[in-house]
Amino acid sequence: MNIDPNQLSSLLASLPAVFQEDRSGAAPNFLGRFLLGFEKLLLGLGEPEELGLEETIAKIHGYFEPGAEMAPDQRAPAEFLPWLAGWVALTLREDWDELRQRDLIAKAASLYRLRGTRRGVEEFLRIFTRLGVEIDELGTALQVGVHATVGVNTLLDGGSPHFFAVRVLLPSPDPALIKAQRGVARAIIDLQKPAHTYYSLSVATPTLQIGVHSTVGADTLLA
């Protein structure tokens, strides 16, 4: 510890006066110096950047709170997130930013109940992309007595059985970003979809809009 050689532990004042009788003037005695180690461990010696054990225990509930929308001092530290994710059987990817990691941990338990459903896939993808996600099951073919009202609940010829199309919206047409996020989106879909289904994945990005997305090769994509 880097401590002033004349500093005394504040814990000494809580002890009977007999423990201070060996002091010579303002010079610290052995016990006053000896207690500094315990004070630093238990109380932090008043240093705001170093919490003592007592204050750490008082705030330990925050270590179990992913807190995507909470103040930094009320939620788990970033380095604690992988351990917290293990409690909900979630493996965090290194290419997920901290906000996505916290959001997924917070919602993992509720999303597990939706695993294998369209809504579950949509919710997982929405947390990752922070934008829109569209899933199209491509309609159901004509089935008399089941799906038989043309234009309402049926589609002539329908779609392929057990097939769905996923469309993910991304804010930037940057090719590297599209490639990376397409890979993550595919990994999420493979994990969340029913095993017997298959799908197509497309990525939509901003097209040319003068004054909005108009710098070719930077923030626009001709389509």
pLDDT at 69: 75
pLDDT of residue 223: 47
Does the pLDDT at position 209 exceed 80? Answer: no
Model confidence band, residue 221 (pLDDT cutoffs 50, 70, 90)? very low
Global pTM?
Answer: 0.54
144 falls in which pLDDT band (50, 70, 90)?
Answer: low
Structural domain ending residue among the three candidates 58, 75, 101: 58
Query: For 108-117, 138-147, 189-198, which range has the lowest pLDDT when averaged over its residues?
Result: 138-147
Looking at the structure, do residues 164 and 218 belong to the same domain, yes or no? yes
- Of the listed ranges 94-98, 124-128, 140-144, 198-202, the least confidently predicted one is 140-144
pLDDT of residue 155 exceeding 70: no
Q: Residues 90, 139: one domain?
A: no
- Number of domain units in the chain: 3
- Could you tell me if residue 19 is inside a domain? yes
> Using H for helix, E for strand and C for coil, what is the string for the chain?
CCCCCCCCCHHHHHCCHHHHCCCCCCCCCHHHHHHHHHHHHHHHHHCCCCCCHHHHHHCHHHHHCCCCCCCHHHCCCHHHHHHHHHCCCCCCCCCCCHHHHHHHHHHHHHHHCCCCCHHHHHHHHHHHHCCCEEEECCCCCCECCCECCECCCECCCCCCCCEEEEEEECCCCCHHHHHHHHHHHHHHHHHHCCCCCEEEEEEECCCCECCCECCECCCECCC
9-55 pLDDT, tens digit per residue, is 878 878 887 887 777 766 778 888 888 878 877 777 655 566 667 77
pLDDT at 174: 79
Does residue 174 belong to any structural domain of this protein?
yes
Residue 139 and residue 101 share a domain: no
Domain annotation covers residue 119? no
Residues 137 and 49 in one domain: no
Which of 19-28, 141-150, 197-206 shows the lowest mean pLDDT across its residues? 141-150
Same domain? For 149 and 221 the reply is yes
| Average pLDDT score, the chain | 76
Q: Verify that 183 and 212 share a domain, yes or no.
A: yes
For 85, the domain range is 67-113
Residue 121 counted as domain residue = no
